[in-house]
Structure 1
Amino acid sequence: MSAGTAPHRFRRGPRRRARAVLAAAAAVVVALSGCALLASDDTADAPATGLEAADPTAIGDVPGDLRSFYTQEVRWESCEGSFACATIEVPLDYGDPGRSSIDIAAIRSDSTGEAQGTILVNPGGPGGSGVNIVRDSLDYVASDRLRENYDILGFDPRGVNRSSAVTCYTDAEQDEARQESYPADASEDELLALMTADAREYADLCAERTGELLGFVDTESAARDMDILRALVSDEKLNYLGFSYGTQLGATYAELFPDRAGRLVLDGAIDPSLGNEAITLGQAGGFERAVRAYVAACLQGDECPYTGTVGDGVRQIQDLFAAVEREPMTAGDGRLVPVSTFVQGFILPLYDNRNWPTLTQAVTAALNGDASDMLYLADLAAERSPDGTYATNSTAAFLAVNCLDYPMTSDPAQMLADEQELMTASPTFGRFLAFGGITCAPWTYPPVLAPAPLRAEGADPIVVIGTTGDPATPFEWSTALAEQLESGVHVTWQGEGHTAYGRSNDCILDLVDDYFIDGTVPKDDTRC
């Protein structure tokens, strides 16, 4: 679903040549991609505000040098109409908590009934704003029934948006980058040299503008922040709903704090044992399946721009991409639309099959020479407003987290071999996903994590949901995560699009709500 990310994990680069980098913002927006047009929910009662301190029984056994963070007083203030907002202090470096602190922005929607606790939500990414998704789409991440029984808490993870944030491009610089492309006739060596130089320039810029925070935005540190949030809302165990990349964050929390992991639901799961290259390959296949499903549905309608068989329609899309790569289009507002931005716009509606008609409209306009609708979709993915401002720093945060979480190959020969594998898995998108390792190679801070299975031994049941037609987090990743987790319970939604809760059916809705509210654990391998 972010609004992830996703996932999910498309590799971003400082400049966008067709093959160098796909539009990663479509992955960052994961959960929000399915609800970008939903209205903000303003029905919550006025929040409780004022100073609050953690219940001592909720703090648990924490090291002495972290205790001040767990016992801090939090000032909740009314914000955004019907919410309460606060800023939480957490250590910059959990290896040296006394060194310095950073800020975590949080937003809370109080329950409409008698709260039995708090549910922390994460929309994905990495880089997705939990503050924004709670503020703008509360009814998407929590049903009326769930909101009656729980306070809903959103937060911007370290490095993201309103929290202490990664800073790379200005809005104007990001606009410029999204309009750039490399020469279509450049040789392999020339392209690699150009991409490497741009990656170095971008990495240096991020390091200069962000400072030492850039080395501490990894997923494990963010999961440790979540335990401080748990204590500060006085919950002895964390109840958590994570989408897309949020499943990685939630599973990491359970691995670190299995005795404090309460009712966790992980929707649109990432397989934590996979490395960067395997994740990219899995997404290539996922989006190829999604585009075929989209074309098949389109051909059943009356106003479809594709003709012939499904295979014919997919080839027509590939031809359109090739034409834009040869000659970038210009939108109605005068902005250039190179193929990477064009593909970014095309991919976003594939996250939710309810948006397929919008994609058809944009493709039809582009075939008639107007790229404005496709640029509009790309702007939604990048979280760009019509006035040229970007709502969040999701692009920069996505890259910063992934560069710390994943070792990546930047060997030219290996990347060329990976490109061929990607193109086999996805003739439509594969070449746009190649060469992602170049972006992190010059990063100021080396990776601090490595892919590995997560067991979370001793944790309460953890519900893992997979969608059979999920393009960004392929279904098989959910089965893998559920099998790795000692207490994993797998649930399948037979549907199209990214994630399930909030956009699927009553079976998924009731199953998740029953688990959070009553503790009813679904039967393993339930299908909805």
Structure 2
Amino acid sequence: MMRFSGAGRTATALLATVLLATACSAKGESKEPADGSSPADPPAATAPAQPATQAPAAALAPFYTQKIKWTPCQNNFQCGKLDVPLDYANPGGDRIQIALIRLPATGGRRIGSIILNPGGPGGSGIEYARAATAVLTPTILARFDTVGFDPRGVGKSAPVRCLTGPQLDAFIGLDGTPDDPAEVSALAKGAKQFAEGCEARSAKLLPHVGTADAARDMDVLRAALGDQGITYLGKSYGTYLGAVYADLFPKKIRALVLDGALDPALAPVPTVNAAQAQGFEVAFRSFLADCFVQKNCPFPGRDTNAALARLTDFLRTTDQRPLRNNTGDGRVIDESWATLGILAPLYDKRSWPVLRVALAQGFRGDGTTLLKLADILVDRKPDGTYSNQTEANMAVNCLDHPYPHKIATYEEAAKAAQQQSPHFGAYVMWGSLPCDYWPVKPTGTDKPLRALGAPPILVVGTQRDPATPYQWAKSLASELSSGVLLSYDGDGHTAYRTGSTCVDQAVDQYLISLTPPASGTLCPKVT
């Protein structure tokens, strides 16, 4: 888990199509997903919170029997609200509302609703669903109502808030690769201030934003939509939410697609963070292999080791001498902002042309395009405000998992990760530090999820996924009692609707007919 969420809208083909112009003109920015790939997820926590204590069914009946009032909200979409208890152990207490959006099925043979989650935690399912025509194939849009929701604590659903825009600028800009005790102390101070800000502004919400509660909300949503069994597409952290749902409600599943899987059995520090950092290293090497055959590659020759050394030198230099910022907002483009700008396009190979331009400019001392890429990843708007995805990401992760509570543990883990992943290892590892100071005790453990009694669950893994390593898809498919693995020989984060007809057809067939591909099916690389 990093100090950014990147879950809302990020380095998809959007960057390749829109930001290429930005790279040349240093103007403009867009945030809407432009294709069906998952909005980029940060390295995120991996194991669910323990199932929240739930009141008897009779006490929850008013929630399960509610009718959603849908109202038109632009371009054939309909918006609504879902009432859920703040605390499922006390359904008679405070309530919160979950924000919803729906695009009715376009065809005549409607099957039901398909619920989407783009990842995070912290990603807005509402904004993701607004890109439904790119997220789902026409075949699925014809047969299902597309339903998006902001999970509790996210976006428009009782959002967690911690810091102001300028405070988030400072937090994200902290030196994420501390080199001496003074820098470690500064990073720890910033992490503590982040946690204290969350307590000051969101204390009542913090104990109730875990993944188990979000999964329970999803079952209330299923019932309110009138579906006997849930049909769900979750990407990245959305696979984690889907797996938790399956473990809690195995008999309420119609079809689950979990694309870009997390392994719930792994501890975030050091295991998950180390693996994700390595995933970004692999992705950068794949980027280099492609870069070497492009005319505008900023790395001369075809020497991978020399190019990696150039990246090392570049990041080391930005740590000491910030890059130019031509946006006029006064921010210092240091190593942390430059690293974020490099990571963003690694989520989707269609964004690699933007990364070539951004690095070429960066090598000349101009970090403007790298900063714009970083802004998209952390969902910073041109006016300096942020969505709450970074805050929600931290709040959910810190509640879902036990984290170390000794600075020395993070230091040791960061050094080890840096040996394995010299460009991203320390940065990723230190990103979990706010959980050291979190004001609410974690409620989860890291363990496999079985979902005993569930029908087939389709797990999709991309072999060179930078954020959710392919091994995790293999692990989740084997841990689930009915898991089916679909593999893709590809680059980038998640597979469905990113260019593979093989993946799209297999997923569509499963969603419609409930017939999954043979477990272990491998879809070939798209050239």
Corresponding position of 2:221: 229
Measured in 1, the distance between the counterparts of 2:461 and 2:204 equals 37
In the TM superposition, what is the alpha-carbon distance from 1:520 to its structure 2 partner?
1.9
Report the CA distance shift for 1:481/1:313 in structure 2 as closer, same or farther (over 3 A): same
Measured in 1, the distance between the counterparts of 2:385 and 2:432 equals 28
Paired AA for residue 356 in structure 2? T
Measured in 1, the distance between the counterparts of 2:173 and 2:180 equals 21
Measured in 2, the distance between the counterparts of 1:300 and 1:485 equals 41
User: How many pairs align?
Assistant: 484
| 2:98 and 2:158 in contact (8 A); partners too | yes
In the TM superposition, what is the alpha-carbon distance from 1:444 to its structure 2 partner?
1.1
| 2:10 and 2:33 in contact (8 A); partners too | no
In the TM superposition, what is the alpha-carbon distance from 1:386 to its structure 2 partner?
2.0
Measured in 2, the distance between the counterparts of 1:161 and 1:117 equals 25
Pairing 1:53-452 to 2, within 5 Å after superposition: 63-114=57-108, 115-135=110-130, 137-181=131-175, 187-188=180-181, 190-277=182-269, 278-308=271-301, 309-334=303-328, 335-390=331-386, 392-452=387-447
In the TM superposition, what is the alpha-carbon distance from 1:200 to its structure 2 partner?
2.2
Measured in 2, the distance between the counterparts of 1:498 and 1:438 equals 25
In the TM superposition, what is the alpha-carbon distance from 1:230 to its structure 2 partner?
0.2
In the TM superposition, what is the alpha-carbon distance from 1:385 to its structure 2 partner?
2.3
Measured in 2, the distance between the counterparts of 1:64 and 1:428 equals 54
What SS class does the counterpart of residue 204 from structure 2 fall into? helix
In the TM superposition, what is the alpha-carbon distance from 1:32 to its structure 2 partner?
4.7
In the TM superposition, what is the alpha-carbon distance from 1:87 to its structure 2 partner?
1.1
| 1:168 and 1:206 in contact (8 A); partners too | yes
| 1:288 and 1:425 in contact (8 A); partners too | no
Supply the RMSD in Å over aligned alpha carbons: 2.0
What SS class does the counterpart of residue 458 from structure 2 fall into? strand
Measured in 2, the distance between the counterparts of 1:505 and 1:437 equals 34
Bigger mean CA deviation after superposition, 170-179 or 315-324: 170-179
Paired AA for residue 276 in structure 1? P
What SS class does the counterpart of residue 527 from structure 1 fall into? strand
CA displacement, residues 393-419 of structure 1 (integer Å, 9 cap, x when unaligned): 100000000000111113233222211
CA displacement, residues 174-209 of structure 1 (integer Å, 9 cap, x when unaligned): 23434454897x732x33332332222221211111
Report the CA distance shift for 1:41/1:428 in structure 2 as closer, same or farther (over 3 A): closer
| 1:292 and 1:311 in contact (8 A); partners too | no
Paired AA for residue 25 in structure 1? S
What SS class does the counterpart of residue 463 from structure 2 fall into? strand
Bigger mean CA deviation after superposition, 304-313 or 252-261: 304-313
Paired AA for residue 227 in structure 1? D
Paired AA for residue 361 in structure 1? V
Corresponding position of 1:33: 11
Measured in 2, the distance between the counterparts of 1:243 and 1:35 equals 16
> For structure 1, which runs of at least 5 residues remain unmatched after alignment?
1-8, 13-23, 43-60
> For structure 2, which runs of at least 5 residues remain unmatched after alignment?
18-29, 35-54
Report the CA distance shift for 1:339/1:41 in structure 2 as closer, same or farther (over 3 A): closer
Measured in 2, the distance between the counterparts of 1:483 and 1:80 equals 42
Paired AA for residue 222 in structure 1? A
Measured in 1, the distance between the counterparts of 2:467 and 2:375 equals 19
Matching residue within 487, 501, 505 for 2:500 = 505
Stretches (4+) displaced over 6 A: 38-42
TM-score normalised per structure 1: 0.88
Bigger mean CA deviation after superposition, 270-279 or 169-178: 169-178
In the TM superposition, what is the alpha-carbon distance from 1:437 to its structure 2 partner?
4.3
| 1:495 and 1:504 in contact (8 A); partners too | no
CA displacement, residues 475-499 of structure 1 (integer Å, 9 cap, x when unaligned): 0000000000010000000000000
Aligned residues with identical type, % of pairs: 39
| 1:25 and 1:344 in contact (8 A); partners too | no
Corresponding position of 2:48: none
